[in-house]
Amino acid sequence: MHFLTWSSLARMTRLQFALTHPDQQTTFGPRLGTLVVRSITLDTPTLLTSTSRGVIPHLSRDHVRKSPALAWLHVPFESFLEHTPPVPTLQPGPHPLHRFLGFKPDDHILSFDLRDPADVREMPPNGNSHVSAMCLRGVRKISPAQWRTYTNACQPDIVAALTDTPHRHPPFSQKRLTKSIDRSTAWLANLLATDDTLPPAPAPAVFVHLAGSTSHPARAAFTASLLEPLSPVNAALPSLDAGVTGYILDLAPLRATATAEPDSHSLLRTSLHALPPTKPRLAHGTPGPHALLRLLRDVGADAVDAPWAIAAAACGVSFDFEFPVRETKRAEDGAGKEELGCNLYDARYALDFGGLGGEREGGCACVACTDAQDRGRGRKQIVHGTDASEAADALAGADAHGDEALPGYTRAYVHHLLHTHEMGAHALLALHNLEIVRAFLAGVRRVLAADGVTGFAREVGRFEERYLELDADADGGEGEGDKGTVMREAKVMWAEVERARGKGRLAREREKEKGREKEDESV
């Protein structure tokens, strides 16, 4: 077993990344770049969407293929560990992970990690030779050798090296942090090593989690271990960092330790300070668009996830925010800060026949708002009733004007779907919300290209003045400070509909009926 040389690693890696503005090649701050994998080119900052068992919640494969927002998908592998060997590793042929999950290699980038970056539950401690992962059948222990085997079998575009993240409450002892750094470094070295039994190139791009938890010295020590020169006798790479394609910024574990946002940014800057700024940075666990903008402004990231977009769709919230913000009638009226979206469970939307994106400039380009013309097109129309002939003529006329886009789905329609407990409502909202985030990041890139870092900081301030922050972790009740209430209200109404029409409804109705009968008997 030996380390790949730097020249061969660069030639074999699928991913290429370049910052496009020389004045933005600083260690910290917003950046513009281009990321290329095979024939896929993404302008950065770009959207990274997490999956569960390779599936985006609420969306089918057809939805994913139609949505331009879903070019980069993240696959936590722990959800496949209930079988030995994991089923995805049995897929033969080229691009096995793409083929197994039903994604096209020419349309989708797949990144690969053992753990779900959003899962911050307490876990059994990791050992020197294993990482604890959670699957459907409980905790599994995965060794670095197994991780290399799974990676080589699945051949993702990007793979994250194993990391020893403490999943308990801080403070952590110096001994525990030292173990975390040593283990993470050793596991990265194991992933970078190769031998003659491995499949041929190209190799996945290797990204590394920036370890060190809530300790500045520990983070600085981990960075130093990446840059430390390796002995030329035992390794052909000059350092571990020479074999690393990019870095992963984990925000959810920091937020779980009640670390304030400015402190989190300071910790991330400590990790990145000595590392080359020209490598891509992935950020997992942003809690909302406000925090995402501040992360881009204060630290710098090239790919960010948006789990809050899916969470909003799950509880019936339709986003309509914009970046950069523009003047609207509501803002001119001095009505105060606006919510980031609408709770479509609310009765006010029962007769609202506007689009899901509201008054957004240029409308919304999502499948739910623009693809309605495909409904029923190319299929035989069945009409009934006394006006059947007139209806058939009208439908034939609509088909004759196939190039004219029909109206998109309306808020009233989705309101109806939500109250009838139709899962199609959440699919439409997920498509819409993810497209809003994609357009949001496109706005970030436009501002950076036109106005630079100073103009971007100014627009971030305007965004914070216009919109209330998203409270994605809310479970109901009143909002706090500048946090909005739309998610809280939506979750309360979702629970009411779930109880009225969801699983167990008939049993609950029988209990109510028995209660009424007992009351009648007592009378």
pLDDT, tens digit, for every residue of 107-138? 999 999 999 988 888 888 899 999 999 988 88
Sequence letter at residue 218: A
Sorted by sequence, the CB contacts under 8 Å of residue 365 that are 6+ apart come out as 68, 435, 439
pLDDT of 387 > 80? The answer is no
Q: For 480-509, how does the pLDDT look when each residue is reduced to its tens digit (9 = 90+)?
A: 557 889 999 999 999 999 888 877 766 766
Residue 1 sits at the vertex; the CA angle it makes with 142 and 89, to the nearest 5 degrees, is 40
The Cα–Cα gap between 511 and 247 comes to 55
The confidence band for 167, taking pLDDT boundaries of 50, 70 and 90, is: confident
Q: What is the mean pLDDT of the chain?
A: 84
The Cα–Cα gap between 267 and 53 comes to 31
Written as six digits, the tokens of 211 are 């370890």
Query: Do 322 and 360 touch, CB atoms closer than 8 A?
Result: yes
| SS3 call for 293 | helix
For residues 226-245, give the mean pLDDT: 84
pLDDT of 233 > 80? The answer is no
pLDDT of 262 > 90? The answer is no
Q: Which has the closest alpha carbon to 485: 474, 494, 493, 496?
A: 474
The Cα–Cα gap between 33 and 246 comes to 13
| SS3 call for 194 | strand
Written as six digits, the tokens of 345 are 């469970």
Query: Do 468 and 339 touch, CB atoms closer than 8 A?
Result: yes
Sorted by sequence, the CB contacts under 8 Å of residue 226 that are 6+ apart come out as 185, 188, 208, 239, 240, 241, 244, 275
Q: Is the model more confident about 47 or about 398?
A: 47
Q: Looking at domain 2-305, what is its CATH homologous superfamily? A: Queuine tRNA-ribosyltransferase-like (3.20.20.105)
Q: For 36-60, how does the pLDDT look when each residue is reduced to its tens digit (9 = 90+)?
A: 999 999 999 999 999 999 999 999 9
The Cα–Cα gap between 485 and 468 comes to 9
pLDDT at position 10, please? 41
For residues 76-104, give the mean pLDDT: 94
Written as six digits, the tokens of 451 are 């106005």
Q: For 357-381, how does the pLDDT look when each residue is reduced to its tens digit (9 = 90+)?
A: 877 766 788 888 885 445 444 444 4
Q: For 7-20, how does the pLDDT look when each residue is reduced to its tens digit (9 = 90+)?
A: 344 435 679 999 98
Written as six digits, the tokens of 516 are 């009424």
Give the H/E segment covering residue 40. Answer: strand 40-44
476: alpha, beta or left? (left if phi > 0; alpha if psi -120 to 50) = left
Query: Do 379 and 372 touch, CB atoms closer than 8 A?
Result: no
Q: In the chain, pLDDT over 90 holds for what percent of residues?
A: 61
Written as six digits, the tokens of 464 are 């914070």
Q: What is the dihedral of CA 16, 17, 22, 27, to 10 degrees?
A: -130
pLDDT of 198 > 60? The answer is no
Q: For 439-488, how does the pLDDT look when each residue is reduced to its tens digit (9 = 90+)?
A: 999 999 999 999 999 999 999 999 999 999 998 666 544 445 578 899 99
Read off the DSSP letter of residue 381: -
pLDDT at position 456, please? 95
pLDDT at position 397, please? 54
For residues 79-102, give the mean pLDDT: 93
For residues 85-93, give the mean pLDDT: 93
For the chain, what are the domain ranges? 2-305, 320-371+408-417+428-501
The confidence band for 271, taking pLDDT boundaries of 50, 70 and 90, is: very high
pLDDT of 407 > 90? The answer is no
pLDDT of 406 > 80? The answer is no
Residue 413 sits at the vertex; the CA angle it makes with 330 and 469, to the nearest 5 degrees, is 40
pLDDT at position 250, please? 94
Sequence letter at residue 111: S
